[in-house]
Amino acid sequence: MKKFTQFKIAFEPYIPELVSGALWELDIDGITEEEKELSVFVNENKKINLNSVQSVLENLQKENVIERFSIHEFEFEDKNWNEEWEKSINVIEVSERIVIKPSFRDYHPKPEQLVITIDPKMSFGTGEHQTTKLVLRMLEEELNPGVKVLDIGTGTGILAIGAVMLGASGAVGIDNDEWCFINAKENIELNNVSDKIDIKLAEITSIHPEKFDLVCANINKNILIDIAGEVYKYVNDSGKLILSGLLVQDEKDINDHYSSLGFTPVKTKVLDEWVSILFQKNTITG
């Protein structure tokens, strides 16, 4: 039977979507997200070792994405990985109205509940993470029927799907990762919203310039600061912007940076150590 190596990785701040994305650049076989740590799996035929994983994490440390990390290595024989993956994905009640479920779990919704079906595969956005819940809750409160929505870093497509199910007339989701592009396309089909959502494999700098009534981005502080000028271009005057993927201590830096561009912070939501911020774009007069 084939043997696998498991690397259990703890790191701070705990930003699993970013660290997972970097680790997938290695020739690994799988990643599972557990409470406050990731497990990376590599079969015995791969040329990945402790040093390979450590090098990725050290690079993230140099880029100030994470501050510290630890790795523990284990060996074991093969498992049914699909079965193990399915065990880890649960039905999530994001709010009284919004529920997220995988296609292989049964759920009987209450009246007025919106059920979003998401099979995450290797993309971020299962609803397990606090930042995804925060943006969905913000969308539930702030999205006006009929608006056009842009989801930057769409991952599984969950925020674009949620926006349309909450009443948006249409949404565009962009991601620069090919697997996310494929997975998001699968998920919009699962939810029967392919006619209202356009998923693009692209950087924000390369999509056709157009204005949106509401833009959301659940990424991380460094990237949100880097792309702020581009984000500004896509928000209608007086339009709304929801940012997340942020730790509570990031709030001031993000508020200062986006305020300097012409956004006004109007609301925050906090869950554990994470925060989501709602901005309104200032109307240009002249």
Parent domain of 69: 3-85
Whether the pLDDT of residue 286 is over 50: the answer is no
Entry pTM: 0.76
Domain shared by 256 and 128, yes or no: yes
pLDDT for position 115: 96
Whether the pLDDT of residue 204 is over 80: the answer is yes
For residue 45, the Cα-to-chain-centroid distance in whole angstroms is 31
Q: What are the tens digits of pLDDT across the range 147-167?
A: 999 999 998 999 999 999 999
Residue partners of 255: CB distance under 8 A and separation at least 6? 265, 277
Domain shared by 112 and 54, yes or no: no
| Final residue before a domain boundary, out of 60, 85, 110 | 85
pLDDT band at 260 (very low <50, low <70, confident <90, very high): very high
| Final residue before a domain boundary, out of 44, 63, 85 | 85
pLDDT for position 284: 65
Domain shared by 74 and 173, yes or no: no
With beta carbons less than 8 A apart as the criterion, state whether 204 and 227 touch: yes
Domain shared by 110 and 180, yes or no: yes
Residue partners of 145: CB distance under 8 A and separation at least 6? 167, 168, 169
Secondary structure (3-state) at 280 = strand
Domain shared by 219 and 255, yes or no: yes
261: domain CATH number?
A: 3.40.50.150
Domain shared by 20 and 118, yes or no: no
Average pLDDT on 107-136 reads: 84
Domain shared by 173 and 260, yes or no: yes
Q: Is residue 286 domain-resident?
A: no
Average pLDDT on 173-185 reads: 89
Backbone angles phi, psi at 259, to 5 degrees: -65, -35
Q: Is residue 101 domain-resident?
A: yes
**Residue of higher predicted confidence among 43 and 169:** 169
Which ranges of 143-211 would DSSP assign to H, the alpha helix?
A: 158-165, 178-190
10: domain CATH number?
A: 3.30.70.260
Domain shared by 15 and 153, yes or no: no
Q: What are the tens digits of pLDDT across the range 37-58?
A: 998 888 888 888 999 999 999 9
**Residue of higher predicted confidence among 41 and 236:** 236
| Final residue before a domain boundary, out of 33, 64, 85 | 85
pLDDT for position 88: 67
* Average pLDDT value for the chain: 89
Closest listed residue to residue 19, CA positions, set 27, 10, 28:
10
Secondary structure (3-state) at 124 = coil
Average pLDDT on 246-251 reads: 90
pLDDT for position 85: 61
Q: What are the tens digits of pLDDT across the range 94-121?
A: 999 999 999 888 899 998 999 999 987 6
Distance CA 63, CA 57 (A): 10
Domain shared by 66 and 116, yes or no: no
Least trusted range by pLDDT, from 30-39, 55-64, 195-204, 268-277: 30-39
Nearest 5°: the CA angle 13, 142, 130 is 20
**Residue of higher predicted confidence among 122 and 36:** 36
Whether the pLDDT of residue 10 is over 80: the answer is yes
Secondary structure (3-state) at 193 = coil
Please report, to the nearest 10 degrees, the dihedral formed by the alpha carbons of residues 25, 28, 30, 33 taken in order.
Answer: -60
Average pLDDT on 190-209 reads: 92
Strands 235-247 and 212-218: parallel
Please report, to the nearest 10 degrees, the dihedral formed by the alpha carbons of residues 135, 177, 206, 220 taken in order.
Answer: 40
